[in-house]
Structure 1
Amino acid sequence: MKTALFDRLKSLLTVQRDNPRLLKAQYIALSRQLPIMYAILLINTLALAATHYAIAPRWLAVYIPAALTVLGSARALMWWRLRHVPATPELVFKTLTRTSRLAFFIALSFTVWALALFPYGDSYTRSHVAFYMAITVIACIFCLMHLRSAALTTTAVVNLAFVAFFLAAGNPTYTAMAINVLLVSAAMILVLHDHYQDFTRLVNTQARSEELSDENRRLANEDSLTGLPNRRQFFALLDGALAEARDEGAKLAVGLIDLDGFKPVNDVYGHSVGDKLLFQVGQRLLRFVRNDLQLARLGGDEFGLLIRHVDSDQALIAVGEGIGEALREPFVIGDIQIAISASLGMVVYPDMAGDAVEAYEFADYALYDSKRAGAGALCLFSAAHYRDLKRDGATEQGLRRANIVEEFDLVFQPIVNIQTGRTVAFEALARWVSPDLGPVAPGQFIPVAERIGFINRLTLPLLRKALAGARSWPYEVRLSFNLSARDCGSKEAVNKIIDVIQCSGFQPRRLDFEITETAVIQDLDQAKNAINAFRALGCGISLDDFGTGYSSLSQLHALSLTKLKIDRTFISRIEHNPASYKIVKSLLALSADMELECVSEGVEREEELQVLKGLGCALVQGYLISRPMPLAQTIHWLAQTGCVAVD
């Protein structure tokens, strides 16, 4: 009981350091109020000294008030100066503790001095002493109310002395004054306590609000999955870094990172494993973060990179290769081991980009170029890329203005069975002659059309032309037609293609749709639905560019395919590349096991053809066999290869 009471009393009369925010708020409030308190105290002290100047001893009427004035002025000046001093937690605590302790001695000094003047003079001067003590202490309490320990100490010293002194005088008037001051003091203490509690609650509420605001700000600027800055924060960091680089005349690199092979992870193992993979990717990327290098997750499997104070392109390439190497290391999630890679595109400010918009756009273009070069590639935006970007911009505008029916046409490249020498199919390939740009290569306009979502606007009119032309071929000759990811991306798009086939008069079982492996893995479920719809109609399905994507055998097995097309990267100079030889041999065996036809495309040299013959490959396509030809020429070609055109 006594210990608890003592602890309670101690907490009331000392400065507690368990709440730094409260201490700082008290410090700020006192730095404004204590200079005012000392000004009131010193003015009232000088006024009391003046009324006793002629009747009290000089040491009591002049020297002591002069000393008290110096003391009060020094303290007021100190608090005035502290308003401009950084309020560190240690300084705040020391200052408040010193103020609380000095309150006893300062209050005692002024009280003893005032009571020492009481015996001198008449009833008016004695009343002045009583008035000085009663009124001045009220002002002091109000000014000290944010520091409860100092306010209570001052109240106790002044009022206890006042009450005791005037009760002991034995005068009824003085006794009444003492009782009145005692009651006022009690009321003041209650008001002080309530105000201090409200002040504490207000500070704590503000602290909680600021913490909540900070947490909201953190959540608004941090990716919850990886702990990296999010897209919003990345662009804020980019703006700040560009401003800093502009002011300092320094170089800044902006990069975009895209994970290769992440989509199949989600498709095969589910989004839960995908999220865990992204978390581990974020942890690996955090190893690279430093003062001049920042990373962020922009969304999905795309990440942003900022590098300040760039020294050279070689240094950037070294950073990019380090990131790529870190992400090529296998990830282990439970009992699953996952291997992915990362493509990276970067641009340097101010060498190749002038602002944030250009920096992001050019980094994105460099990323796109790196992905075209192959998984895990690194690309630094250059003047050549700038020219290509301008060319792509002109291509995009040309596509948007194009009359598709008049400007686009088709050529056909034969697919030949090298064991029989007969042509089994033609692949339809788009050609564009723009009135503004002239002939535009497919390698130029098709990637642009895919990027801007224009490719599916080409599909239907070109498919109508291809089907109409293929009706003139012998019944056993098939038509092979390429579909993009967007063509298979929705049920509506698939139904429009089916409508074109049904209205064409062309037998669906003579039609093969070529779909790239990359298009399939973008949305495996929708790709399966599209393939099933085409197969139900009777069409064949060829998986194009096989071996360049990240599909697994389980994914292939789930698709109703009829052909595999081996990408030309494995065919080129196969006779000099043992790795390519083994891959092609394995793919031919795989297609045989899966009862699928297999086409080797991109055959351009006799040596490649002989190797393929030795491996037992039957179907080939490429410049060695024939370049793409107009529709009219296909009839002559078929006649030469032993096929007769139908009427």
Structure 2
Amino acid sequence: MADAYRPIVRGFLLPGCAYYLFVTWGHWRDETGSNLLILGGISLSTAVAYALFRAVLLPEGRTSLARLEAVGLVANLLLYANVLAYMLLHREDERLVYFVLIAVVFSTSGVTLRGTIACVMLSIGTLLWFARDASPVLAEQYAFIGVATSFASVGMATLLRKAILRQIDARLLADQMAQRDSQTGIANRRAIFGRMDELVRARTPFWIGILDLDGFKAINDIYGHAVGDSVLCEVVARLEGRSSDRVRFGRIGGDEFAILVTGEETAETVENLGGELLAAIGRTCAIDHLNLGIGGTIGFAHYPSMGATTRQIFEKADYALYRGKEQARGHAVIFTLNEDRQMRDSLLLERELREADLDAELHLLFQPQMNVMDGRVRSFEALARWQSPLLGGVAPDRFIRAAERAGLIQSVTRILFRKGLDALESWPRDVDVSFNLSAQDIADRAFIFSLVAQVLRRGIDPARIEFEITETAVMKDIGVSRLLLEDLSALGFRIALDDFGSGYSSFEYIDELPLDKIKIDKGFVRKVATSAASREIVAAVITLCRNLDLECVLEGVETEAEMAILAPLSPRIIQGYLYGRPMPSDAVVALLAGQSGSPEAARV
């Protein structure tokens, strides 16, 4: 109520101050002697008081209802005092109407209904007191006007307060809605962060967990947003089943949720809670006759032991989530203090990546894939490189992970892919390029086809472009990945499975995915000289690829000794330092010119 009425009172005081300065000037012009001192003094005092009330007692900001009521009451009494003094010194029956006018003013400037009624009764009572000395006809008219004005003023005051209360209710409802996620009805990001800020100010211990759903985007893409929304609501219902005074949930992103646990809970208790929540979420969702599976990973951090601010704690929970998705998907992960340095380095890397001129700082090197059967290079793998002005050269695995965490991976991929196409256009047309896609790239069908559009706009033969994927990039949802890769293959693009043998279900991917090439993980290749098992595995994969009409690439061949051992296995394509280190595009052109003898003829 005070917040709603404060601007009304402040708005009344400003013109009131100006009006009584004008009245003071009028008294100075028209009055003399004691009348000037009395009337001029009262009006000038009123103007000064109104100015002080507005500046000192009712500044911008929150004001208590009691102070607001007191200011409104005194302001009304000063207004009344001006009219009363004038009538006592200049009794004019026709000017008794002033008391009617100020009664109407009181109906709007009075803060509380009790104060308004008191001021209106005072004004009308004074009117009737003065009117008793008027003629009977005039007295009767003023009596009628006074009664009518009393009812009208109280009615206006009541209506105004009802309107204000409705506005207050509407504002409260809007505030509540602003604190709620419109889709699921639970607390939103603003509400969760606001509550965390309150707990930090009160120095109340709490845990914040970030839950990220696994498989939700695939459901959204395949079955549509309506089914996706139903899944989200089902997830919320399962979470809310575990809510309490100490456990609160909120939605902070598309498929990300916050878990706020207040009180002195141990890490073990919170980890168990996370496990129970994930088990509840992991039960099959029956939506529109569909049985949909979904999972999740949670990262937890604790205030105050792991940070002093809301932002620090949230960042550490987010880091724990990211580590969990990399190393312990489907589990609740607690941030540990010995990860502080690692996280600071990671955040520094992310910050530099966000602030970088990626177009200028990112570039590609190309490593040849040698066909040992004819001694010619027919393809190059494009390798991402980042030269940061502050950090220097950053290892690809580090900045690619940082780009994924920061949500910048598609910007990185788009820039590097464009530069790869620029290089490809300068090469002979029988030479291809192999380009790596991240898990986030593959998860976004629209983004992948924006890359396809680049190729088609340039008129490049899709068969010259090979997309390399890893097991980890497709394992989140092999069904969705298969559909995307089948579409790319149908358009003429080639698909390669990188680091074959580094995971646990590689042979399943050979059967499930539309592959053109297998790249054997260099971990096997480097052990062929010392491990009979590795040698047999490499030989078996080469034979398998030959039988399935797949190209097979041996990665990481660095020495003649390794090649001498591998030669009896009849490998066809080798990629490693023995046949070429990563090189810039102009060096590729020189290499190809040397092996062809006539690059212009090869370009056709």
Sort the TM-score into its range (normalised by shorter chain). Answer: 0.5 to 0.7
Q: Structure 1: how far apart are the matches of 2:494 and 2:237? A: 41
Asked whether the equivalents of residues 252 and 308 of structure 1 are also in contact (C-alpha less than 8 Å), the reply is yes
**Inter-CA distance 475–338: structure 2 relative to 1 (3 Å threshold):** same
Structure 2: which amino acid aligns with 1:571? G
Cα displacement string for residues 390-412 of structure 1 (whole angstroms, at most 9, x for unaligned residues): 22344356557878799766444
**Inter-CA distance 390–228: structure 2 relative to 1 (3 Å threshold):** same
Give the match for residue 80 of structure 2: none
Cα displacement string for residues 37-62 of structure 1 (whole angstroms, at most 9, x for unaligned residues): xxxxxxxxxxxxxxxxxxxxxxxxxx
Give the match for residue 25 of structure 2: none
State the TM-score, normalized to the length of structure 1. 0.53
Q: Structure 2: how far apart are the matches of 1:308 and 1:236? A: 14
Identify the match of residue 287 of structure 2 among 329, 333, 357.
Answer: 333
Q: Structure 2: how far apart are the matches of 1:278 and 1:307? A: 21
Give the match for residue 260 of structure 1: 214
Find out whether 1:612 has 2:521 as its counterpart. no
Find out whether 1:589 has 2:511 as its counterpart. yes
Asked whether the equivalents of residues 327 and 340 of structure 1 are also in contact (C-alpha less than 8 Å), the reply is yes
Report how many aligned residue pairs link the two structures.
410
1:297-316 matches, cutoff 5 A? 297-316=251-270
- Alpha-carbon offset, residue 430 of structure 1: 2.7
- Alpha-carbon offset, residue 373 of structure 1: 3.3
Asked whether the equivalents of residues 413 and 428 of structure 1 are also in contact (C-alpha less than 8 Å), the reply is yes
Q: Structure 2: how far apart are the matches of 1:313 and 1:601? A: 41
- Alpha-carbon offset, residue 541 of structure 1: 4.7
Structure 1: which amino acid aligns with 2:583? L
Cα displacement string for residues 253-298 of structure 1 (whole angstroms, at most 9, x for unaligned residues): 1121221222222221111111111111111111221111111011
Asked whether the equivalents of residues 255 and 306 of structure 1 are also in contact (C-alpha less than 8 Å), the reply is yes
Give the match for residue 187 of structure 2: 229
Structure 2: which amino acid aligns with 1:220? A
Cα displacement string for residues 121-147 of structure 1 (whole angstroms, at most 9, x for unaligned residues): xxxxxxxxxxxxxxxxxxxxxxxx99x
1:118-129 matches, cutoff 5 A? none
- Give the secondary structure class of the aligned counterpart of 2:523: coil
**Inter-CA distance 417–278: structure 2 relative to 1 (3 Å threshold):** farther
**Inter-CA distance 274–396: structure 2 relative to 1 (3 Å threshold):** closer
Asked whether the equivalents of residues 180 and 187 of structure 2 are also in contact (C-alpha less than 8 Å), the reply is yes
Asked whether the equivalents of residues 433 and 466 of structure 2 are also in contact (C-alpha less than 8 Å), the reply is no
Give the match for residue 461 of structure 2: 538
Structure 1: which amino acid aligns with 2:460? L
**Inter-CA distance 431–627: structure 2 relative to 1 (3 Å threshold):** farther
Q: Structure 1: how far apart are the matches of 2:447 and 2:392? A: 37
Give the match for residue 566 of structure 1: 497
- Alpha-carbon offset, residue 333 of structure 1: 0.6
**Inter-CA distance 223–561: structure 2 relative to 1 (3 Å threshold):** farther
Q: Structure 2: how far apart are the matches of 1:306 and 1:604? A: 43
Give the match for residue 547 of structure 1: 474
Give the match for residue 275 of structure 2: 321
Give the match for residue 447 of structure 1: 401
**Inter-CA distance 360–558: structure 2 relative to 1 (3 Å threshold):** same
Give the match for residue 119 of structure 1: none
Cα displacement string for residues 549-582 of structure 1 (whole angstroms, at most 9, x for unaligned residues): 32524444444363333353x612x7xxxxx3xx
Asked whether the equivalents of residues 256 and 345 of structure 1 are also in contact (C-alpha less than 8 Å), the reply is yes
Give the match for residue 239 of structure 2: 285
**Inter-CA distance 196–353: structure 2 relative to 1 (3 Å threshold):** same
Give the match for residue 238 of structure 1: 196
Cα displacement string for residues 239-263 of structure 1 (whole angstroms, at most 9, x for unaligned residues): 122234x1xxx53211212212222
Which structure has the larger Rg? 1
Q: Structure 2: how far apart are the matches of 1:444 and 1:423? A: 29
Structure 1: which amino acid aligns with 2:307? A
State the TM-score, normalized to the length of structure 2. 0.57
- Alpha-carbon offset, residue 590 of structure 1: 3.8
Asked whether the equivalents of residues 565 and 600 of structure 1 are also in contact (C-alpha less than 8 Å), the reply is yes
**Inter-CA distance 291–412: structure 2 relative to 1 (3 Å threshold):** same
Q: Structure 2: how far apart are the matches of 1:218 and 1:406? A: 46
Give the match for residue 173 of structure 2: 215
Q: Structure 2: how far apart are the matches of 1:557 and 1:420? A: 31
Cα displacement string for residues 365-416 of structure 1 (whole angstroms, at most 9, x for unaligned residues): 3323333336435432233432123223443565578787997664444546
Cα displacement string for residues 66-90 of structure 1 (whole angstroms, at most 9, x for unaligned residues): xxxxxxxxxxxxxxxxxxxxxxxxx
Find out whether 1:630 has 2:582 as its counterpart. yes
Give the match for residue 42 of structure 1: none
Asked whether the equivalents of residues 276 and 333 of structure 1 are also in contact (C-alpha less than 8 Å), the reply is yes
**Where does structure 1 lack aligned partners over 5 or more consecutive residues?**
1-144, 147-187, 483-514, 575-579
- Alpha-carbon offset, residue 477 of structure 1: 3.9
Give the match for residue 519 of structure 2: 600
Structure 2: which amino acid aligns with 1:238? M
Identify the match of residue 521 of structure 1 among 417, 439, 443.
Answer: 443
Cα displacement string for residues 295-333 of structure 1 (whole angstroms, at most 9, x for unaligned residues): 101131111121112432222221222222222222111
**Inter-CA distance 533–602: structure 2 relative to 1 (3 Å threshold):** same
Q: Structure 2: how far apart are the matches of 1:320 and 1:370? A: 12
Q: Structure 2: how far apart are the matches of 1:403 and 1:215? A: 45
Identity fraction in percent: 26
**Inter-CA distance 465–301: structure 2 relative to 1 (3 Å threshold):** closer
